[in-house]
Structure 1
Amino acid sequence: MGISGLWSVASVRWAVAALCLFLAGLAAQLLDAPSALWWTLYITCYVTGGWAPAWEGIQALRSRTLDVDLLMVVAAIGAASIGQVFDGALLIVIFATSGALEDTATKRTEDSVTGLLDLAPNAATRIDADGTEESVHPRDLRIGDHVVIRPGERVSADGVVMGGRSDVDQSSVTGEPLPVNKHPDDTVFAGTQNGGGVLRIRVTQNPSDTVVARIVALVAEASATKAETQLFIEKVEQRYSVGVVVATLALFTIPLAFGADLQGALLRAMTFMIVASPCAVVLATMPPLLSAIANAGRHGVLVKSAVAMEHLADATVVAIDKTGTLTTGTPRLTSVVPLLHGQMDADDVLRIAASAEQFSEHPLGRAVVDHARQRGIDIPESTEFHAQPGRGVRARLAGQIIEIVSPRCLGGNSLPGVIDVQDAGSTAVVVVVDEVPVGILGLTDTVRAGTKDVVRTITALTSASPVLLTGDNDCAAQRLATDVGISDVRADLLPEDKVAVVRRLQADGHRVLFVGDGINDAPAIAAAHASIAMGLSGADLTLDTADAVTVRDELATIPAVVALARRARRVVIANLAIAATFITALVAWDLFGHLPLPLGVAGHEGSTIIVALNGLRLLRARAWTGVAPTSS
């Protein structure tokens, strides 16, 4: 009904006040109190429940648009003018109640945004250059500032740990169920809860760019948009409302011209104006979509607009990036190939490699050290560690020079075993001792937990297997696809190639939902009918371009949000059918029979309440949990 301006949260209070005044007037009327008393109570009910929509309607008239709110107020005043003050008051009460329900749906959506804002603390302890502490508001922090986070406090900014150790509960941002141990050089997020230690962090993001702030901005932007269906309805509403006014005037003047009595003609005209007004139609679209957006936001998926929610519902095929999307982007060691048989076995090669990599910050180096520790291998301490960008690492162990390098540094893939490792879908690195290759390590990206179940759910939901689009080599892509159950693989793709595949699929009649994380995915995300970005690992450009963002990088949320979007679309269709049925039936009754005004009011506003409540159903947790796949 468009009463989101002046009514706001107070609409509930006005609706309750109008109801109380209506019931008091009804009681006074039934108890044969002086008519002046119950008339006064009813008129006060008019003012209490009708002033806001009347003001909205007047403001709309100034913009040369006709608001359905104004039609309801005019109809109520018309009823009172012919002595039907009870019927008009009933209309105002039900009208105010339906408006409050609409506002409740909007308020619940806004609460999902302000709830995220509540994660941020109200104060931060900044450490100045001379070591003094100063309490400031988090919004006053700047990149490079040093902040101390004491036990039990919320982290006040996105940053990097400079000193101290502590367990930090990141569930509010990342969804991780257990606190994460934070050491120097680890990343922390604003709004997360510090444990028992003290942390000193260096701010790396301005307050407006923190993870929480970006989440808030995305959800707020979603609430401000309108779905295509809603825009169409609003366009039709203007012409329809004018038609209702013209028909009402005709229904009033024509019978008068043929001798009908004034009260009877006005009563029928007012009844027609009420039952023909498209209040329920207007409420049919946005409450379900906004409720779905709020529900998705509570479960870690930020849908940026009602239009985006409609597009997600339309998806017929899902195209998915590999690295960082189906995989975590964190490598693990999968094979060790000794080259000096009889002199070194796999454990010897791994021990040497882990010794050289133990001081490395590169993901491949950490994967080697982690695997050696998991195998229980004693890692001797190396010296003279040196990282060689674009090449690998170099260190000294027991007087020997150890290098972990790319095969390209040793003449390409001609080294025995390199091709086999790469054909298995792994990244190959070579272990070199005093310039002699002694082994090959194969490292593979880690597949996200539950990926196979998610692929199966997507296939069932869209009746089409997902399409894997990746810039990685074909062997690695095919191996991953086989492991997770994807049959359609497009590998060795440049960003423009991904766009071409998306456009080709859409030219074939598909509506493509693209899921990715990297900057190289942004063009395909922009070209797709709908898109979802991985929030934790996603590049800024990708997050800005995508229609929706998964805050916790959980693949299971992808089919869940698509199913939720489809459920929202079904509710919209059902709402439109309900509204059209009521309007048609009530208008026909009034034109070809005798529809009592109270019954017309009850039928019209009752359909509006039914439609509003039907949309609010999508706020329930069951609307999400009922569609989410089971992860392994």
Structure 2
Amino acid sequence: MSSTLTGTAPPAGTTREVVAPWRRTRVLALPEVRWAAAALVLFLLALPLHLLGAPAWMWGSLYALTYAAGGWEPGWAGLKALRDKTLDVDLLMVLAALGAAAIGQALDGALLIVIFATSGALEAIATARTADSVRGLLDLAPATATRISDDGTEETVHTDRLAVGDVILIRPGERVGADGRVLSGASEVDQATITGEPLPVAKEAGDEVFAGTLNGTGALTVKVERDPSDSVIARIVAMVEEASQTKAPTQLFIEKVEQRYSVGMVAATMALFALPLIFGADLQSTLLRAMTFMIVASPCAVVLATMPPLLSAIANAGRHGVLVKSAVVMERLGQVDAVALDKTGTLTEGTPRVTDIRPLAASSLDEDGLLTLAAAAEHPSEHPLARAILDAARTRGLYIPVVTDFSSAPGTGVTATVDGCTVAAGSPARLLSEGDGHPAAVVAAQLENDGRTAVVVIRDRTPVGVLGIADRLRDEAATTVTALSTLTGATPILVTGDNPRSAVRLAAEVGITDVRAGLLPQDKVTTVRELQQTGRKVLVVGDGVNDAPALAAAHAGIAMGRAGSDLALETADAVIVRDELATIPTVVALSRRARRLVIQNLVIAAVFITGLVVWDLIGTLPLPLGVAGHEGSTVIVGLNGLRLLRDAAWRRARDAR
């Protein structure tokens, strides 16, 4: 990659040109969302009527509709689960809500219904959008390809009909239709979606190309080497789906706890109702006691003990440019003890910049003169390296003369006439005919060893200087790496599809010693899983389609939002909306504080619930006092969790990192 060449490339092939088109499921098309919205609206209509003393039939009917809208689906699912001899917590919540209504606490029950209906709707939205993004990724690969038959004729066929051994033609500006190897032709291919490399890569006979990558200005003849269903892009889709499913064991553990709690609570309520009746107690007092037990034993306080700190942390992070997608994600972020960082677009800006201007002593040019010549020759080109050279010239306020006789050669460079002189700019390996001993070749080799892309400038067949171009490191990259090292107790590792020399150079600048370079998407997943096998909880930070499988496989994944691909944004658990890398350690520290508050709240909730349940079992707990204690514990844990809404919480997390 260090000798990537300058040539003309279409606008569509610009650096970091990403990704799959949007395929959005309409949110209101999801039944969970419609029912949750209906329940919330009905509850908000009933609440003021209830509190202001309106006739009971008015707010009572609205509460009844709230129960029906938000509770029928989990209730029906719970009844079907009963048929399979399983009692889930959703049915328990519906029963608790109905029990509250039975003893005159319709408000408590309706609120419980709304909480669980909203939770189910958010889960449905997240699932649908992830599925949309994965399906949209398949659109990166073109639907048709130009197949060349044995007699040389061309036919347009659907890519699904391609087979191993077929020969296809990739015209300039087209996407590659299948994984294969170049038979003839020369061009540059933007394969950022697969490898994450920031610049197009020169391709010629014998080089491998991937389905879904974007061809530059040259035509390529490619022999298909993989079935379309086994292409790299198809395997990315499969890996994202598979890795997402690996999070299921945690859900299974939660379901086991819910099952035991549900069975225990229902059994206790039934026993508390039936046993006194057997020994002659009156029906009304027994029912009241049993319903009071169901209310005070209801896990509302436990639910609110967990959610307010996490949701408050989510809201606070959102105000500071970090979108955390769920409370589960916020909790996971605080558990990470290893970090894997992508290079291009994550630690770097993802845009090539001129870093070195080296005029040769014999050329009599200074830096501005050399840059002016190069910028003039590159001016008609739309290649990313050409734009980097032009940006550098404009930043210095240089006058760029008009050129004539411009031409470009994929894999070589550009030539043009500038002020009567013939100027060429491009690959040292292709444009320098005098070998490694030429001073320009020595300078180019030094730049390439430092991880730069070298561009030699030649005037009237005489080399006059060399430019070095590299992706620029983000200003906050080094401090972010240091902060993450402090938080996790281990230095992050660098995982990138870029070339090893460039990766090692950049890693040294930010203090990273463990570098994994030249990785394809499946290699990044392997790296993450190797870390996980040692017991580490891995945070992956990336931005491209090629990062999506690793983002999904990790304990938590964060995507850079500004230049991130649709798939990375959907697959990641959190998104850095403003591309401020320094917010990553801050949100991790905020998550750890939220988890500490969750533990505090669970202790408070457990003390209240245990005390009220014991009181109801060994004494006579008045219903108003039971409701007051239950709601009081809910208010206390809720207010405790809301402390993280304040900006001071973000500042403390930033300082603590």
Bin of the TM-score, shorter chain as denominator length: 0.5 to 0.7
Quickly say closer, same or farther: Cα 1:344–1:257, change in 2 above 3 A: closer
Aligned to 1:446: 472
Name the CA distance, whole Å, in 1 between partners of 2:296 and 2:44. 24
The alignment partner of 2:425 has SS state of: strand
In structure 2, the partner of 1:485 is 511
**Matched AA of 2:453:** T
Q: Does 1:52 align with 2:66?
A: yes
Q: Secondary structure at the match of 1:329?
A: strand
Q: Give, as a single letter, the amino acid of the residue that structure 1 aligns with 2:579.
A: D
1:319 and 2:340 are equivalent in the alignment: yes
Name the residue aligned to 2:49: 17
Q: Report the counterpart of residue 337 of structure 1 in structure 2.
A: 358
Counterpart position of 2:427? 406
Q: CA deviation at 1:433?
A: 1.7
Contact 1:54 1:73 in 2 (8 A): no
Q: Deviations over 1:282-331 (max 9, x none)?
A: 44445555555455445443444554444333321111111221111222
Q: Does 1:361 align with 2:377?
A: no
Distance 1:482 1:363 in 2: 25
How many Å separate the matches in 2 of 1:241 and 1:512?
33
Residue 584 of structure 1 is matched in structure 2 by 610
Task: Give the Å deviation of 1:513.
Answer: 1.4
Q: Name which of structure 1's ranges 445-454 and 68-77 shifts more when overlaid on structure 2.
A: 68-77
- 2:275 is matched with which residue: 226, 230, 254? 254
Partner Cα separation in structure 2 for residue 95 and residue 426 of structure 1: 65
**Residue identity in the other structure for 1:92:** A
CA distance in 1, matches of 2:115, 2:640: 11
Deviation at 1:404, TM superposition (A): 0.6
Moved more, 327-336 or 621-630: 621-630
| Conserved 8 A contact 1:465-1:486 | yes
Structure 2 counterpart of 1:469: 495
Identify the residue that residue 543 of structure 1 maps to in structure 2.
569
Further displaced range: 238-247 or 530-539: 238-247
Q: Any residues of structure 2 matched to 1:278-357 within 5 Å, and which?
A: 278-286=299-307, 288-290=309-311, 292-341=313-362, 343-357=364-378
SS of structure 2 residue aligned to 1:444: strand
Aligned Cα RMSD in Å?
4.0
Cα drift, residue 248 of structure 1: 2.6
Shift in alpha-carbon separation, 1:60–1:626, aligned structure 2, 3 A:
same
Match of 1:460 among 478, 486, 501: 486
The match for 1:74 among 81, 85, 99 is: 99
Q: What is the TM-score of this pair, normalised by structure 1?
A: 0.66
Amino acid at match of 1:454: T
CA drift at 1:402: 0.5
1:601 to 624, 627, 632: 627
| Offset at residue 50 of structure 1 (A) | 5.7
Indicate the larger mover: 339-348 or 444-453.
Answer: 339-348
* 1:407 and 1:430 in contact (8 A); partners too: yes
Structure 1 position 92 matched with structure 2 position 106: yes
Q: Cα distance 1:57–1:484, how it changes in 2: closer, same or farther (>3 A)? A: closer
**Cα shift readout 1:140-194 (whole Å, capped 9, x = no counterpart):** xxxxxxxxxxxxxxxxxxxxxxxxxxxxxxxxxxxxxxxxxxxxxxxxxxxxxxx
Mapping 1:66-215, distance limit 5 Å:
66-77=91-102, 88-89=103-104, 91-96=105-110
How many residues get paired? Answer: 488
When residues 405 and 75 of structure 1 are mapped into structure 2, their CA distance, relative to the original with a 3 A threshold, is closer
Higher relative contact order, chain-length normalized (CA < 8 Å, sep 6+): 2
Tell me which residue corresponds to 2:444: 418
**Does 1:522 pair with 2:548?**
yes
- Confirm or deny: 8 A CA contact 2:337 2:537 kept in the other structure: yes
* 2:100 and 2:109 in contact (8 A); partners too: no
- Secondary structure of residue in 2 paired with 1:581: helix
**How far off is 1:259 after superposition?**
4.3
Residue 621 of structure 2 aligns to a residue in which SS?
Answer: coil
The whole-number CA distance in structure 2 between the counterparts of 1:544 and 1:583 is 39
Confirm or deny: 8 A CA contact 2:605 2:633 kept in the other structure.
Answer: yes
Aligned residue type for 1:335: D
Q: 1:429 aligns with which of 452, 455, 460?
A: 455
User: Partner of 2:40: helix, strand, or coil?
Assistant: coil
Q: Tell me the SS of whatever aligns to 1:416.
A: helix
> What are structure 1's unaligned runs of at least 5 residues?
25-40, 78-87, 112-225
Contact 1:535 1:550 in 2 (8 A): yes
Q: CA 1:543/1:49 → structure 2, altered by over 3 Å: closer, same or farther?
A: closer
Distance 1:101 1:251, change over 3 A: closer
* % identical aligned pairs: 56
> CA offsets, 1:40-88, max 9 Å, x none?
x6787665656633775566554416333433443553xxxxxxxxxx4
* Contact 2:43–2:62 under 8 Å retained in 1: no
User: Against the structure 1 CA distance between its residues 334 and 55, is the aligned structure 2 distance closer, same or farther, given a 3 Å change threshold?
Assistant: closer
2:414 aligned partner: 393
Q: 3-state DSSP class of the match of 2:362?
A: coil
Distance 1:298 1:92, change over 3 A: same
- Return closer, same or farther for 1:269/1:390 CA change in 2, 3 Å cut-off: same
One-letter amino acid matched to 2:506: L
- Are residues 103 and 628 of structure 1, via their aligned partners in 2, closer, same or farther at CA, if it must alter by over 3 Å? farther
Range with greater deviation from structure 2 (479-488 or 92-101): 92-101
1:352-389 Cα offsets, whole Å, 9 max, x none, are: 22222233333322332333344454443322223333
**Contact 1:495 1:524 (8 Å CA) reproduced:** yes
2:49–2:58 Cα contact (<8 Å) kept: no
Moved more, 446-455 or 238-247: 238-247
CA contact (8 A) 1:56 1:70 kept: no
Q: Distance in 2 between matches of 1:448 and 1:586?
A: 55
Task: State the Cα distance separating 1:520 from its structure 2 match.
Answer: 3.4
Deviation at 1:470, TM superposition (A): 2.7
Match of 1:381 among 396, 402, 411: 402
Q: What is the one-letter code of the residue matched to 2:527?
A: V
